[in-house]
Amino acid sequence: MKVSDIKYERADLEKLKADLEKLAEELTAASSAEEQYRLVMKSVALSSDMQTAGALGEIRFLLNTEDEFYAKEHDYYDEFGPLVIGAGHKFTKAVLDTKFPELHKMLPEIMVANARIAQRTYDDSIAELLKQENAAVTEYSKLMASMTAEFDGKTLPVSMLEKFKASGDRSTRKAAWEAHGKAMEASGDKIDEIFDRMVKIRTEAARRLGHENFIALGYDRRERNCYNAADVKAFRENVLKDIVPLVAKLKASAAQKLGIDKIKLYDNETWFSAGEPAPEGSVEQIFDAAKKMYKEMSPSTGEFMDIMLEAEAFDVLPRKGKWGGGMMSYLINYKQPFILANFNGTAADVDVLTHEVGHAYAAYLNRGVVFPELMLGGMETAEVHSMAMEFFAWDWTDGFFGKRANDYRLKHLCESLHFIPYGTIVDYFQHIVYENPDMTPAERNAVWLELEREYRPYLSFEETTYFEKGTVWQIKQHIFELPFYHIDYCLAQSIALQFLDILQKDRKNAWDKYIKFVSYGGTLPFTGILAEAGLRSPFDTGALSSIAATAEKLLKKL
C-alpha cells in the first residue's frame, strides 16, 4: 500500500487514557502472572494503534505545516498526549509493582529496566507543563519551517540556501550565510523568548519530580540505561584529546587548498577550491543509483528498497511550509517506514538518503519484534544504524558522483570527523544552560562562543553579522525539540568510524558485524550491543585514539 493511501483516523486519546487506566486496575487485580502478561499485550496493541495514528498525522503535518487540518491534529496530540503519557505511566507502575515477580521474567529484562527509568519522567503534577513544552516546540518548528531568506533577488526557504553555502565561490557562500543570518535575526528575539520559555518549563518539571535541574530528567527522557553525565564527560575528554587536534589539521590543510588564511563560518563546510562534489543527474537518477546500490549491497537491502519505492515512502523535495529537516518515521501497524528529506542539490542529498535508509532498514529488519519499543533501541544505538550505513555506501558513490566520487569520500570522512567536536559543543552547551536556567540570551551566546574556542579553535565567525554574536546555536533544531539528543550522534559517529576501519580490512566481516549490531535492536543496552558485536565503547579512556589514527591514514590515501 502506498503511504499516501493510508487512511488517517484520529486516535481517541481520552478513550485510550481510560482504557489504559482500566488495564492498570485489571492488572493489579489479576490472579496470575500469565493473566497480567495478556494485559500487557493488550496495552501494546492499544499503544500501537495510537502511535500509528499519531505518526501518520505527524508525517502529514511535517510535509505541510500550513495544512490547517493536520496542524490541528498536531495540536491535538500536543494537548492531549500528556494525558495518555500519564495513563501509560500508571499502567507501567502497575507492572513494576506486580505481586507476581515472575511477570518481570516473562518480559525482556531491558524493558523492565527502561520502564523504571520512564517512571522517573512523569507524574500528574507536570501534565500541564508537558502541554506547554509541546506547544513551545511546535511554535519553534513552525517558525523555522516558514522562515524564508532573500537571496540573489529571490525569496527562498532557508533550507534552499544550503546549496549556495556549498558553492565553490567564496563570495556566494558568504552571501548565503549572511542571508540566513538576516532571516534568523528578524526572528532572533522570538527564538530567544521561545527557548527561554522552554528552559524554564523543563526546569520546573524537573524540580517537581525532585531534581535540582533538568539534566537528570533529560537523560531519563532519552532512556539512558547504561551511561550517565560522567560518562559523557569522559567522552568529551576523549574528543578534546584525539579528535579536536586531527580536525584542526584537516582544517589547516583545507585552508591551504582554498588559498585562505583563516576558516570563516562560511568556509567550514568547504573542502575543495573547485566547489564541493554534488550528485550528478536528477532526483530520479539519484534514486535509480540508490536502488542499484541496495540491490547489490545484499539481497535483504534490495528487497527493502523495492518495498519502500513501491509504497512511495520517500518525500525529498523542499517546499514552502515543509519541515526543514530529515527523518525516518515508522507506521507500526503497517510495518512501514517513511523517509522525509529536503534535497538541495548538494552532497547532503546522498548523505541524508543513506542515513535515513539506515534507520528505515533497521526498522525493516526488526519489524517482527513483539514489543515495538525495543525495535531500534536508544538513539545512540539507532544512529549507528544510519551513520554506519553511510560508510557502507562508499563502494557505490561513483553512481552518485561520477568522476568526483573520491572527492565525496574525502569530504564525507572529513565531515564525519569534524562533526564530532560540533555535536559535543551542542551537548555541552545544553548541560551548561540547564545547570544555569536563568541565563540571559547574551550569556547563552557567550557560552556558545567559549565552547567554539575550545572545540573548534580554527573557526572564525567574523563577517557573518548575526552569527558572530554567538547565535548559530539557534538553527540547531535538536536543542529546542530534543534536548540532550545530539550527543547520541557523536557516540554513534565514533562507532560508525569503527565500522569504516573494519571495512578497510574485511568487508564481509564489517557487514556481518553491522547486521549483528542492527539485529539486536533495543533488546540490549548500547554498551551491551557494542560488546556483543565486538566493538569498543566510546567512553573508555583513549577509545578515540585508534579511530583518529586510522582516519588519518585513510585520509592520506583519498
Residue 429 forms part of a structural domain: no
Provide the pLDDT for residue 42: 97
The pTM of the full predicted model, rounded to 2 decimals, is 0.88
Residue 333 forms part of a structural domain: no
CA atoms of 207 and 326, how far apart (whole Å): 33
Provide the pLDDT for residue 166: 80
Complete DSSP assignment for 249-296 = HHHHHHHHHHT-SSEEGGGTT---TT------S-HHHHHHHHHHHHHH
Residue located via cell numbers 529571490: 154
> Residues 5, 311: contact at Cβ < 8 Å?
no
pLDDT tens-digit profile, the chain (558 residues): 999 999 999 999 999 999 999 999 999 999 999 999 999 999 999 999 999 999 999 999 999 999 999 999 999 998 888 889 889 989 999 999 999 999 999 999 999 999 999 989 988 899 999 999 999 999 999 999 899 999 999 999 998 898 899 888 999 999 999 999 999 999 999 999 999 999 999 999 999 999 999 999 999 999 999 999 999 999 999 999 999 999 999 999 999 989 999 999 999 988 888 778 999 999 999 999 999 999 999 999 999 999 999 999 999 999 989 988 899 999 999 999 999 999 989 899 999 999 999 999 999 999 999 999 999 999 999 999 999 999 999 999 999 999 999 999 999 999 999 999 999 999 999 999 999 999 999 999 999 999 999 999 999 999 888 999 999 999 999 999 999 999 999 999 999 999 999 998 899 999 999 999 999 999 999 999 999 999 999 999 999 998 899 899 888 887
Give the CA distances from residue 66 to residues 10, 74, 318, 324, 484, in Å, rounded to whole numbers and listed in that order: 19, 11, 14, 13, 28
> Residues 340, 329: contact at Cβ < 8 Å?
yes
CA atoms of 371 and 349, how far apart (whole Å): 33
Residue 89 forms part of a structural domain: yes
Total tally of structural domains belonging to the chain: 1
Residue 127 forms part of a structural domain: yes
Residue 53 forms part of a structural domain: yes
Provide the pLDDT for residue 20: 96
Complete DSSP assignment for 168-227 = SSHHHHHHHHHHHHHHHHHHHHHHHHHHHHHHHHHHHHHHHTT-SSHHHHHHHHTT--S-
Q: At what angle do helices 545-557 and 486-505 cross, to 10 degrees?
A: 60
Residue 136 forms part of a structural domain: no
Residues forming a β-bridge with 314: 339
| Domain boundaries, position 103 | 3-131
Residue 217 forms part of a structural domain: no
> Residues 536, 513: contact at Cβ < 8 Å?
no
Provide the pLDDT for residue 80: 87
Residue 109 forms part of a structural domain: yes
Return the C-alpha cell found at 235. Answer: 567522552
